[in-house]
Structures are given as structure tokens and as C-alpha cells.
Amino acid sequence: MLQKSWFHIIILNTLLLVLGTTEAFRFPTVAPGLNTSNKITSFRACIYDVNRHRLCHYFHSTIRSSSTSLNNIYDNWRSDAIVDNMCLDHENVQQCLEEFMYSSYGHQMFGIHDRPASIGITGTLELVEICGPEIILQLEGKFWHRRETVLGRAAMWLHARMPEITDVTVSSEDELKDYVEITDEFTGDVIEGIDRQAPDFNGDRYTMTYQGIDPDVRGPFPYGAGSFQINPA
């Protein structure tokens, strides 16, 4: 990929050199009183800038598309924080949630994918309703990540795509609790505790927390040889 990028840069520079020195001579007329050499130099600079802009845009698009072809729009946004805006409506919100859930990042977070499902992750994210500029979502199932992290990531992405959104929330604050205690309505005693987090299948979540590392930064699976991995003692 690096060699291909350098090849694009070499071709770009060559074309800019040719265009910057030849396009000017397509303008044979010179305004009265204006020095001919200055006129040619002026046209040359103008045409050079125009073609430079067009070619840079073309090669930037080519290089970027070839380097991110395996990622979706959410993964690209996480890399460069650049994304096109959309108007706020039900269809677009649903599309953005799917972009988030089916991204490479989403393949670590949601139970709709085989690998997370294999370790007990069943969590999903759904749109409940749109109330003006406010989005209400629903978190269901068990997540390896904290539920607040899931909502926060979704909120950041929705706002990046639709800046008119003012708030992304859930119907009830209980949806954001990773551990829920069911109490007796008369005595107040705890009857049952429900753990909403997926199993810590290899102990990494506990180890990272013990070491002062936020486990949600990495997620349940290391991304590859270059990412940090936890080897519990």
C-alpha cells in the first residue's frame, strides 16, 4: 500500500509539472499594455493552481479509497474524524445505527456478530423514537462493554452525522446499569441480582481494570499483533 501511494505521488508531481508549464500557452492574446512574459506567468500560475487542486483531489480520493476499502464509513470516521452530514429523520438514524453496529468496532460490541455471540455477548441497539432533536435508543441483552460506553459511542456517531441532534438517551436510566438488584417492595431486601455484562471469558476485563486500564478502550478481542494484549498472571 505504501509503494502504491508513493507511485501516485510521483505521477501527481509529474502531471503538475507538465500542466503548469504548458497550459499557459493556450492563451495567445495579451491585453494591451501588459507585458507578455508577465501575462504568460500569470496564466501559468492560474492554470497550475486549478489543475493542482483537481489532481490532488483525485489522487487523495484514490489513495484513501484503496487504503480503507475494507472498512465502513464509521471506521473511516474513527480514523480521520471526517464524515458527511445528514438531515435528521427516522430513516437516516436507522442507517447510522447500522453503520455503527456493522463496523469493525461493532464486531467487538454487538451480539449480532458471530465472534461476540460465541462468548456470550447478546447486546443490541435499537431506535425507539425521535422527539424533535432528541433521539431515544434502547439497549437490550448483555454487553462486554459498559452500557454507558455503548450509548456514548452511538451518541457521538449520530451527532457527527446529524449535528442538529441535541441529546441521545434511553427511556429509563436502569437501561444503563450493568448490574441490577431486584428488591422486595415491602422490606427493601435484595431478592435477586442480575448481571447485564457478558462473561469475562478470558479474565482480560478484570485484569485491565485491576491494572488501571479502561477495558472498553480495547474491547474483548485484541485487534491484532500490534494491539496490546493482556496475559493474566
> Can you tell me the distance from the alpha carbon of 216 to that of 205, in angstroms, rounded to the nearest whole number?
8
Instruction: Please name every residue paired with 134 in a beta bridge, in sequence order, or none if there are none.
Output: 131, 167
- Overall number of domains in the chain: 2
Q: Let me know whether 6 and 29 are in one domain.
A: yes
Which pLDDT belongs to residue 193? 84
Asked if the structure places residue 90 within a domain, the reply is yes
CB 150 within 8 Å of CB 122: no
CB 175 within 8 Å of CB 138: yes
pLDDT band with cut points at 50, 70 and 90 for residue 11: low
Residue, of 45 and 140, whose pLDDT is higher: 140
Asked if the structure places residue 231 within a domain, the reply is no
Asked if the structure places residue 213 within a domain, the reply is yes
Mean pLDDT of 88-109: 95
Mean pLDDT of 211-216: 95
Which pLDDT belongs to residue 1? 46
Q: Let me know whether 138 and 194 are in one domain.
A: yes
* CATH assignment at residue 93: 3.30.300.130
Q: Let me know whether 105 and 191 are in one domain.
A: yes
pLDDT band with cut points at 50, 70 and 90 for residue 156: very high
Q: Let me know whether 216 and 103 are in one domain.
A: yes
Residue 64 has a CB neighbour count (10 Å cut-off) of 15
